[in-house]
Structure 1
Amino acid sequence: MTETTEPTRIQVRGLAKSFGDHQVLRGIDFESRRGTSTVLIGPSGSGKTTVLRSLNVLETPDCGVVRIDDVEVDFAKLPPGKAGRKEGARLRAQSGMVFQTHNLFPHRTVLENIIEGPVVAQGRPREEAVADAKVLLDQVGLGDRVDAYPSQLSGGQQQRVGIARALALKPRVVLFDEPTSALDPELVGEVLAVIKDLAATGWTMVIVTHEIRFAEQVADQVLFLDSGVIVEYGTSAQVIGDPQEERTQRFLKRILDPG
């Protein structure tokens, strides 16, 4: 979808998911190139977060294929039991997830929160993880809060720690699930600024957001979802600036011109 010389980093084919009788995804197909930002927009209940959680195997699709670099899972052929969980874990290890709420351990310092994954889950040396964490904290503007506890931070600062924690796993892809939706309005800008910096430095990202102007600035490609399908896709200038589908036009008008 995005014209670039970089190789494909994410490929999604035929992704479908139902919860009971409700079909949330109805055959999602898209690709993301390495070093690009793909932004998912659309009304509540359109399937955006389910797409994101499927990439990270927090949700198991009913069928479809997800590939991140050389790791591919065909969910229709996923074996049962331990073998299936192992395949899912391999795919999950390719990405880092930033949730709507930061979910930090309240009894651990900022530094301890960030090194938990690299040391415990990945088995990396503590000294290496600490050094990397300090670099990441500088990157998100919190280099002076290494020894602070989450209760001593604002919501925006806690979310920036959450971003550093995801990056500490050295993922190939970073997934953001409406990272500013739980923040007070005055704190949104500081988190969006960090994500813009990550986009500028070449991280591959998939972002679900309701911040349309932010999407316009950061996205290499925009997917507009409604009722479990991709209604329209293209560059931000195409989808947000000059949408062709009537459903996209109505959605953007309601968001950008509520009066």
Structure 2
Amino acid sequence: MSPTESNLPEAATLLTVRGLRKAFGRHEVLKSIDMDVRRGEVVTLIGPSGSGKTTVLRCLNGLEVPDGGIVEFANDLTVDFSLPVPKKQLSSMRDRSAMVFQHYNLFPHKTALENVIEGPVQVQKRPKAEAIEEARELLARVGLADKEGSYPFELSGGQQQRVGIVRALALRPQLLLFDEPTSALDPELVGDVLTVIKELADEGWTMVVVTHELAFAREVADEVIFMADGVVVERGHPDTVLRDPREERTRQFVDRLLNPF
């Protein structure tokens, strides 16, 4: 399956974020985040726990409503969070992205196939037969054709996460959001999931990925953004940010991940 067809030129900006802010009580999690993501580009967010990376994704997906800032999709939807946001506009923003969660978030009482078709059928109101056919194709694509009738407790962590990826793809989003998709997996299962994500990148899917897998970011990302304390400290090509960072804080973080002992 390839990304949703679009009239955008290949290098056009799909997502523009300006001044994104979010606080929980008195704790300001995002202080003013700017981001541009071009169509077909992979942007990885790295940084210490609590830096705001997951909150960025949740704000882009509408799971959290920002306190301020502007989010623009493909020049046809602009949401200004400094003003009251109509529900229809927020729903339209949510329709443009799909999220893959750190802990899978599958419905435990539904099979793999039922998890995948839930969004297309219940939310997008697509015909059930069409959704089932597409879900089976996607499950086969990630090596889970024989697991469509399995419940989450019958699947390994890697298999559950691949179902989570298929569930996101089935929504036909413009933008895929990954929140540390391998951090809950046993080490021997990480490779299978990263391979699926890399294949999606090779196919031209537009993605924002929160990850601590620096080798993956170096190989797949078009841009790496290092965040700390709710701000962007450094951004740039992986060869720069991960091999020769300009900022000392970035250097310390990368060195700590590469040399934990």
Identify the TM-score tier after normalising by the shorter chain.
Answer: over 0.9
Letter in 2 for 1:72: T
2:115, 2:260 → 1: CA distance? 40
* Cα pair distance change 1:178/1:125, threshold 3 Å: same
How many equivalent residue pairs?
252
Alignment of 1:40-59 (within 5 A): 40-59=45-64
Q: TM-score scaled to structure 1, two decimals?
A: 0.94
Q: For residues 99-156 of structure 1, what are the alpha-carbon distances to aligned partners after superposition, in whole Å with 9 as ceiling and x for unaligned?
A: 0111222222211111111011101011111111111112212122122222221110
Residues 10, 39 of structure 2: 8 Å contact kept: no
After superposition, the C-alpha distances for 1:37-85 in whole angstroms (9 at most, x for unaligned) are 0000001111111111110111111100011222221111124xxxx22
- Aligned equivalent of 1:77: 83
Q: Does 1:136 align with 2:128?
A: no
Aligned runs of 1:1-259 on 2, under 5 Å?
6-69=11-74, 70-79=76-85, 84-259=86-261
RMSD: 1.3
Q: Secondary structure at the match of 2:44?
A: strand
Change (3 A) 1:112 1:241: same
Structure 2: stretches of 5+ with no match in the other structure = 1-8
How far apart, in 2, do the equivalents of 1:156 and 1:12 lie? 32
SS in 1 for 2:145: coil
- State the alpha-carbon separation in 2 of the partners of residues 22 and 111 from structure 1: 40
Counterpart AA for 2:83: K
CA–CA separation in structure 2 for the residues paired with 1:31 and 1:76: 19
Alpha-carbon distance between aligned partners in 2 of 1:77 and 1:105, rounded to the nearest angstrom: 35
Distance 1:109 1:125 in 2: 19
The percentage of aligned residue pairs carrying the same residue is 59
Which letter does structure 2 place at the counterpart of 1:15? L
Give structure 1 regions of 4+ aligned residues with deviation exceeding 3 angstroms: none
CA distance change for structure 1 residues 26 and 194 in 2, over 3 Å: closer, same or farther? same
Task: Write the distance in 2 (CA, Å) between the matches of 1:124 and 1:194.
Answer: 26
